[in-house]
Amino acid sequence: NNTVTVQGKKVQIIGDLDVRTSRFDDLLNPSTSTINLTLSSADSFWYGDQRKLPIVLPNNSVNLTLSNGAEWIYFSESSIANLTLLDGGIVNLVDAEIEQKLSSTITDPNTGIEINLPDYELGAAERHYEVSIGNLKGSGGIFKMDLSHAGNSSTDYFRSSSNSDYIDVTDSSKTGTHLVVFDGEAANISNLEIGDRIYFARVEDKNAEFITNHDGISYRADEPLDFVYGTESEFTSNHN
């Protein structure tokens, strides 16, 4: 078994974390390769993808823990095997913010050298519309998302062609409640009518819960009825 552990209050990683193998012997006699990455401050981030072979080497994984404003932005591979979010750890899917961050210049905390990120052609997707999580743990995490009422308000809860982001969780048996942050104006929530919904997550085992930054807020003061927005779950055979 092979394990690498990286942790600290100021850890900044740009690039993929690869738990695949190129050795034929490893495919015939597989061992487990694991990267444990723990980021615990707003000065820490990981910009990159988990690279693995889920069918051939299903136990190889990246175990990512984010807390206190630490942030993960993927480039093009939207899945992560194990994710723990604690006290403000952030998964960012907001395309405008991602474009700005990946187009910026950062300073290497060890050398002081400025690094111009566009020079590295990081290969980020044009749209970050989904994150797929094998095992979600922790409580108090933040998902920053681009949501939209238009085209995403029916029981057809997710379509890749939708202009609204989506969270897909397989196992959430050890998680609590997480916050979804989105721009209400961009999401057109002022156009929601009674009974309308915006679907933004599927939880296979129905344990994780989400709230949003618009819960309990009324945007229809000029109407004879009060419209108060809230987050709830629907339990069906297909999705939560």
Q: Please check the confidence at residue 131 and state whether its pLDDT lies above 60.
A: yes
So what's the pLDDT on residue 175?
A: 85
Instruction: Say if residue 158's pLDDT is above 70.
Output: no
**Residue 237's CB: how many other CB atoms inside 10 A?**
4
DSSP code of residue 231? -
- Please tell me the least confidently modeled range out of 21-25, 137-141, 211-215: 21-25
Task: Report helix, strand or coil for 180.
Answer: strand
What are the phi and psi torsion angles at 9 (to 5°)? Answer: -80, -20
Of 52-56, 63-67, 228-232, the one with minimum mean pLDDT is 52-56
Percentage, residues of the chain above pLDDT 70: 80
The whole-number pLDDT of residue 144 equals: 98
Q: Which residues contact 133 (CB under 8 A, 6 or more apart)?
A: 79, 80, 83, 167, 168, 169, 170
What are the pLDDT digits (tens) for 30-64? Answer: 567 889 999 999 999 999 999 876 544 557 889 99
Euclidean distance between CA atoms 151 and 166, whole angstroms: 13
Q: What secondary structure, in 3-state letters, does 190-208 show? A: HHCCCCCCCCCEEECCCCC
- Token code pair at residue 225: 């009825």
**Rounded mean pLDDT of 8-27?**
75
Stated pTM of the model: 0.86
